[in-house]
Structure 1
Amino acid sequence: MAVNTVSYSIFATNEFTVGKELEDKLASILNVDVKKLGAKLNSHKNFVWLKRKVSPEISAKIKDLNIPGIGQLRKNKRFYPNGPLAGHVIGFTDIDNKGLEGVELYCDSYLSGIKGWRLAHRDAKRRELICWGYRSILPADGYNLVLTIDSVIQGIAERHTQYAARKYKATSATTIVMEPESGEILALYNYPALGKSVAGHLYYSIFRFSKYNLL
């Protein structure tokens, strides 16, 4: 119900030489406003994001331009194949894949994995020296999480809950479908629904300071 897909984040460094023609090309490929892009490129900052989480196709076009000072980082992007289905349960992440609500938030430490690091000394030529005090932690992928939610039953529960709530003009409604023998939750839905496209300031203003919890 939630997977990672490959994406790329495009950035500029102070090595980039500003030019109207290059700005127009970049704006066209990235599908951004050329004036806003120009403001970023003319900010004289050592590092500035131009656009986050673009597709591999756009990444390839930027790479083909071979512009000095324009680079990209490969980043995972959260993708929900079933769209808003079970949105209250799954929740959503921010642009850096950090969980904001639902299972994404509750299990964030398990899903995120471990960023590796190494502490070492270097000589004047920046060659690494292996010596006492050398420390490191290997990176590790996050865990896969399997829910008991049945997407078919979840879809049915959502449709019927929405229908009943609208028919009887209810301000809110909750449906839970449980397997009686095992206690597994097969469907869980809160009305009104939350679309996973909600993010940023909308998320904080609507939900973080609300008396209603998503999960």
Structure 2
Amino acid sequence: MKIDSSAYRGLLWVVWGVVLCLILRLFYLQVIRHDQYAEKSQDQMERLIKIYPNRGNIYDRHMTPLALTQAGYSVYALPDKIENQWVFAKKIAPYLGTTRKDLTRLFNQNKAPFLWLDRYVSPKVKQAIQNEGLEGVGFIGTNQRVYPHQELASHVLGFVGVDNQGLAGLDYGFDQDLKGSPGKIIVEGDPRGYQLVSGQKKLIPADDGVHLVTTLDEFIQYSAQRHLQAGVEAQSAAGGQAIVMSAKTGDILAMVDYPTFNSNDW
């Protein structure tokens, strides 16, 4: 059977056209768009773990601490490394103030390779958990806001949230200065989020927040608060406010609001 030469040449041109298109496409992806796809691939491989900085303290005029940062640890679990989640939950639950049932439900409802178990535990609790010799549990250094005088100047100081972000008072007004800049741990993982054994690990340290010194006087603040409470209760009033100011400098020595609250409860 005789093959039509024109049809053969046409087919040959089509094949060469397809090959040329593939070459151009590969050139476009691997040369022209190389940097973009390389960056996208790196982003998919990198996994970030946030490191929270130490929040700055708040002092009165005599450098008496009114708000402090207490060191502790956040607790996390790597479910894929836990051989028996039921036994794991039973052993660790008492240290976290929860129950085995709640932790087991957490594992069953979340299939992520990384789970937070508790955002803050004391160094003593961390050591107790480590003594259990559990696989699949880890710790990241963190801190907790503590107000040592409890209800003293609570309306002035305010309070913070679970991630130490200011939500009220001075802790909110000066949040950008007090909170510092978070750091992060960058680890290489596969597309499913699992860390690669041979992957690189990079640590970017956190920058701690600055300290804040107020014009308040702890003793005058306490005295004003106590007398205001007595006055409100004596008059059966709904509440009251008082400010004590230095006549010479204009410094605010006390700022009181009643009823009050304990900033540690938030």
TM-score range normalised by the length of the shorter chain: 0.7 to 0.9
Question: Unpaired segments of 5 or more residues in structure 2?
Answer: 1-65, 187-197
Residue 187 of structure 1 deviates from its aligned partner by 0.6
Deviation per CA, 1:26-51: give whole Å up to 9, x if none: 11222322211221133333222212
Q: How many residues align?
A: 186
Q: Is 1:42 aligned to 2:108, yes or no?
A: yes
Aligned to 1:193: 260
Q: Look up the equivalent residue of 1:12 and give its one-letter code.
A: A
Given the two structures, how large is their TM-score scaled by the length of structure 2?
0.64
In the TM superposition, what are the counterparts of 1:165-176 in structure 2 within 5 Å?
A: 165-176=232-243
Residue 194 of structure 1 deviates from its aligned partner by 2.5
Aligned to 1:204: none
In the TM superposition, what are the counterparts of 1:85-164 in structure 2 within 5 Å?
A: 85-116=152-183, 139-164=206-231
Q: Is 1:64 aligned to 2:131, yes or no?
A: yes
**Secondary structure of 2:248 counterpart:** coil
Question: Unpaired segments of 5 or more residues in structure 1?
Answer: 120-124, 129-136, 200-215
Aligned to 1:2: 67
**Secondary structure of 1:77 counterpart:** strand
Residue 20 of structure 1 deviates from its aligned partner by 3.0
2:89 to 23, 28, 53: 23
The CA distance in 2 between the partners of 1:34 and 1:102, in whole Å, is: 38
Bigger helix fraction: 2
**Secondary structure of 1:114 counterpart:** coil
The CA distance in 2 between the partners of 1:53 and 1:118, in whole Å, is: 19
Deviation per CA, 1:49-103: give whole Å up to 9, x if none: 2122111011112223332221111101111111111000000001111000000
User: Hey, which bits of structure 1, 4+ residues long, moved more than 4 A?
Assistant: 116-119, 125-128
Determine which structure has more spread, i.e. the larger CA radius of gyration.
2
The CA distance in 2 between the partners of 1:172 and 1:33, in whole Å, is: 41
Given the two structures, how large is their TM-score scaled by the length of structure 1?
0.78
The CA distance in 2 between the partners of 1:13 and 1:91, in whole Å, is: 35
